[in-house]
Amino acid sequence: MKALTWQGTGKVSVETVPDPKIQEPTDAIVRITSTAICGSDLHLYDVLGMFIDQGDILGHEPMGIVEEVGAEVRHIRPGDRVVIPFNISCGHCWMCTRGFFAQCETTQVRDQGKGASLFGYTKLYGQVPGGQAEYLRVPQAQFGPIKVPDGHPDERYLFLSDVLTTSWQAAQYADIRPGDTVFVTGLGPIGQMSARIARHLGAGRVIASDNVPERLAMAERHGIEVLDTSKIDDIPAAVLELTGGRGADGVIEAVGMEAHGSPLQAAAVKGTGLLPDALARKAIDTFGIDRTAALTDAFGAVRRAGTVSIIGVYGGQADPFPMMDLFDKGVTLRMGQAHVKRWADEILPLLTGDEDPLGVDDLVTHRLPLADAPHAYEMFKNKEDGCIKVVLKP
> What's the pLDDT at 28?
98
In angstroms, the CA 290 to CA 394 distance is 34
Cβ proximity of 83 and 165 under 8 Å: no
pLDDT, tens digit, 9 for 90 and up, residues 329-368: 999 999 999 999 999 999 999 999 999 999 999 999 999 9
CB-based contacts of 231, cutoff 8 Å, min separation 6: none
User: What is the reported pTM?
Assistant: 0.92
Residue 52: C-alpha distances to residues 123, 134, 218, 253, 276 (Å):
6, 21, 34, 27, 13
> What's the pLDDT at 256?
81
Q: How far apart are the first and last CA of the chain?
A: 10
pLDDT, tens digit, 9 for 90 and up, residues 163-206: 999 999 999 999 999 999 999 999 999 999 999 999 999 999 99
Nearest-CA neighbor of 62 among 150, 162, 141? 162
Residue 208: C-alpha distances to residues 126, 329, 356 (Å):
34, 22, 21
Q: 189-200 and 213-221 are packed helices; what angle lies between their axes, rounded to 10 degrees?
A: 20
Torsions phi, psi for 247 (to 5 deg): 105, 170
CB-based contacts of 215, cutoff 8 Å, min separation 6: 187, 188, 191, 192, 388
Residues of the chain with pLDDT under 70: 258-291, 315-319
Return the bridge partners of 391, or none.
36, 367
ω into 320 cis (within 30 of 0): yes
In angstroms, the CA 26 to CA 60 distance is 19
- Residues 31-68 as b/e (b if ≥16 CB within 10 A, e otherwise) read bbbbbbbbbbbbbbbbbbbbbbeeebbbbbbbbbebbb
pLDDT, tens digit, 9 for 90 and up, residues 85-113: 999 999 999 999 999 999 999 999 999 99
> What's the pLDDT at 204?
98
CB-based contacts of 315, cutoff 8 Å, min separation 6: 43, 47, 48, 257, 284, 290
> What's the pLDDT at 317?
65
**Displacement of CA 337 from its chain's centroid (Å):** 8
| Amino acid in the structure at residue 48 | L
In angstroms, the CA 160 to CA 149 distance is 13
In angstroms, the CA 317 to CA 272 distance is 13
